[in-house]
Amino acid sequence: MTKPSDTLYLYSDTANIMFFKPTPTTGQPLYLQLMQQIRHATETGVLQAGDQLPGIRTLAEELVVSPNTVAKAYCELEHDGVLELKQGSGAFVCANRRARSLAEQLPLARRRIRDLIERLRDDGLFDEEIRRAFEAELLYSAKIVKKR
Amino acid sequence: MTNEPVILTHCLTKSYGAAEAVRALNLSVERNRITAFLGRNGAGKSTTIKMLLGMIRPTSGSGTLLGNQITDAEENRELRKRVAYVAEDKPLYGYMTVEQTIRFARSFYPDWRSDVEKKLLHDYELPLRRKVKALSKGMRTKLALLLAFARRPDLLILDEPSEGLDPVGIELLLQTLVVQAADGVSVFFSSHQIAEVERVADSVCILEKGCLLVDASLDHLRQSYRRIDLVLPTLVGEGEFLIPGVQRIQADGFHMSVFATNNAEAVVERAHGLNAISVEVSPVGLRDIFLETVREN
Amino acid sequence: MLWYKAWLETRARFLASLATLTIFCAVLVHHALYIACSNTFPCTEGWIRPGRQAEFYRLLLVTQEFLVFMWVLAVVLLGMGGIVREKALGTSSLTLSLPVSRTRLMRVRVGLGILEALALAVLPWATVFAISWIAKMPVLISQVGLYVLLLVGGGLVYFAMAVLVSSVVAGEYTAPALAVGVVLLGLIIFDAWLRRFNVWRLMTGDFSIDRDTYLLSGHLPWWGILASLSVAAVMLLASTLVVRRRDF
């Protein structure tokens, strides 16, 4: 699972992304949080197609998480078609249809969520209540999302 | 490279007279993972580790570490070549200097890595010529950890490694653990610091009164353990929620709090079936998982 | 580097004992020569009158008697330590996690202890010889050799006893106190009832001394030495077994 150390140079050259240390207390597995960060970066254009992500060892050390967490995140993202794992050289951002369409879908999804939140606020719900309702529903249906 | 567990015990037991410190322990620690060993003081963590390393003789049961029988003195000596261990009290020889201590430890292990030694000496800012008995507690901890980290063992066993370290030291420690794991070292550490465990552990084992109560991956725990808070329209008996997966039910009038280790969906369904006024599902952090687990026993 | 560690652990005790024993012997032999040479040092004549020679060797015998007492105490102190003591100090988890067997740990500790005990016997007597040589009245080398042999051959059993005690008892003061207690008890018992088997008398040369010349005869109590060394070996074996079985 070791990655070549020269990804450090590539990392600073190409993928100019700052990762945030995942927070362990939200009840969400850390690898999912990491996946979200990477996905978000690809959707907003911070990570371009073809960019190389840091090696597992490097990223694990920087974020202070288990390398298995990083490996799982990368693996799942490869499964989702976001990343491409090249044997011996590292993880690269895929340039494929699904990632691109997601970049289009996301602004639409956010507009819909914005509208829903506005309506719920009009109904008299507080933001905290809205958030908890979302979380509850997401967790309830989480088992459908689980892949392994 | 085999996929056998690095640590595997079978009914490992240690009794002191009538008291059982460790009870029929069936521990299985996977290779290439960071496994945390949680438990209250006196739960039997240190006793288990010492049995694995041949310092304490089990009353009954057996175990293997890296494929070697722990109860055979010669095999245990063999496995100790590939295991790095730092005991809870960070033992060091007070009469040796930092330099002498490192030279001493280095002489026993061909897998010693001088580059890591130099880096850690620099990071930890350890004074080479000072005697260990003149070091502060934090420095002693760092030196004890250095002796383990400057090697390339197959298994790293740490008993309360962050005790005695300031937050910067703890961060460095976790980073080192993670880098070791990335280099192929299996890590098995016991800790009271739930926060650090949640950050780096892949799997968690919870020991209470000598028994293994939980042995699962942290991701699985995060995805399965739930607290469901309900408000019901009528007074409902706790028996309504005795569904498989439910560990504890707390009822207070119309409010009910259900702690489930898995199968939370069934609880939600039952609640809806009883026309619950409000159903709130929340994830449970490792601290609460630990507290609930040891409380039940 | 186990030998190095054992050396660091016993160094202070060893050097202090060595200094004490050597200085003591030096002073005693100087005094003996002074008397034997009619209050001059160094002696101006070669060997003096036969009567004085016997007197000189009698004083050497006295030296040995004191030396035995101090050597036994020193050797008992050297026998302290070991993994059991380390457990009380909190370092046993480090030592026992090393990829070495407990037997090897014991062997190194005992090996160094025996070497140190030997040094504690040889060096003081070598000093005696050196001073007598400077005084132009050298002690017979054979006598020096015999005294050393009696000391070590008979006395290693005390070292072994100390090792056994320290393998069973962990306290910093209780272990040496117990060991010294055993020494004293042995003295009393063997002096009162088993005089023939008293190893102390063997070490001080009581069994081999010629009462006219005060020279040790070559007729050494070999059986006694053999018996003493055998008991020592048994005790060391017992210590190893005790340590192997023990929980740390």
pLDDT in tens, A113-146: 898 999 999 888 888 888 888 888 887 766 555 5
Query: B73: closest CA among C83, C243, C82, C5?
Result: C243
pLDDT in tens, B84-96: 999 999 999 999 9
Beta-carbon contacts of residue A97 (< 8 Å; ≥ 6 apart) = none
Task: Report ipTM for this prediction.
Answer: 0.90
Domain with CATH 3.40.50.300 in chain B: 7-219
Question: What angle do the packed helices C222-245 and C141-168 form, to 10 degrees?
Answer: 30
> Domain residue spans in chain C?
2-245
Q: Is the pLDDT of residue A102 over 70?
A: no
From the CA of C180, how many Å to the nearest CA of chain B?
26
Beta-carbon contacts of residue C235 (< 8 Å; ≥ 6 apart) = C157, C160, C161, C163, C164
**Structural domains of chain A, with CATH:** 7-95 (1.10.10.10), 99-145 (no CATH)
C-alpha span between B40 and B164 (Å, rounded): 18
Mutate to test the interface with C, among B13, B51, B93, B143 (most CBs of C within 10 A): B93
Q: Is the pLDDT of residue B2 over 70?
A: no
pLDDT in tens, C170-210: 888 999 999 999 999 998 888 888 777 888 888 888 877 77
Instruction: Compute the count of residue pairs across chains B and C with CB atoms less than 8 Å apart.
Output: 63
Q: Which residues of B touch C93 (CB under 8 A)?
A: 50, 55, 85, 87, 89, 91
Beta-carbon contacts of residue C212 (< 8 Å; ≥ 6 apart) = C54
pLDDT in tens, B213-259: 999 999 999 889 999 999 989 888 888 888 888 999 998 888 999 99
Under CATH, to which class is B225-296 assigned?
A: alpha beta
Q: Which residues of C touch B109 (CB under 8 A)?
A: 99
- pTM for the whole thing? 0.85
From the CA of B156, how many Å to the nearest CA of chain A?
14
In one letter, which amino acid is B173?
L
Q: Is the pLDDT of residue B191 over 80?
A: yes
B200 near B177, Cβ under 8 Å?
yes
DSSP letters, B251-270, are EETTEEEEEESS-HHHHHHH
Domain with CATH 3.30.70 in chain B: 225-296
Residue A81: predicted pLDDT: 85
Contact A25 B198 (CB under 8 A): yes
Q: Is the pLDDT of residue A110 over 60?
A: yes
Chains C and B touching, counted as 3 or more CB pairs less than 8 Å apart: yes
Structure tokens at A148: 């392994």
Q: Strand B211-217 and strand B246-252: pairing?
A: unpaired
Q: Strand B226-231 and strand B278-283: pairing?
A: antiparallel
Q: What is the CATH number of domain B7-219?
A: 3.40.50.300
Chains that touch C (3 or more CB pairs under 8 A): B
From the CA of B107, how many Å to the nearest CA of chain C?
7
DSSP letters, C156-213, are HHHHHHHHHHHHH---TTHHHHHHHHHHHHHHHHHHHT-GGG-HHHHHTTTTTB-TTT
Residue A136: predicted pLDDT: 82
Residue A3: predicted pLDDT: 36
Beta-carbon contacts of residue B181 (< 8 Å; ≥ 6 apart) = A60, A66, A67, A68, B32, B33, B34, B187
Average pLDDT over residues A73-97: 84
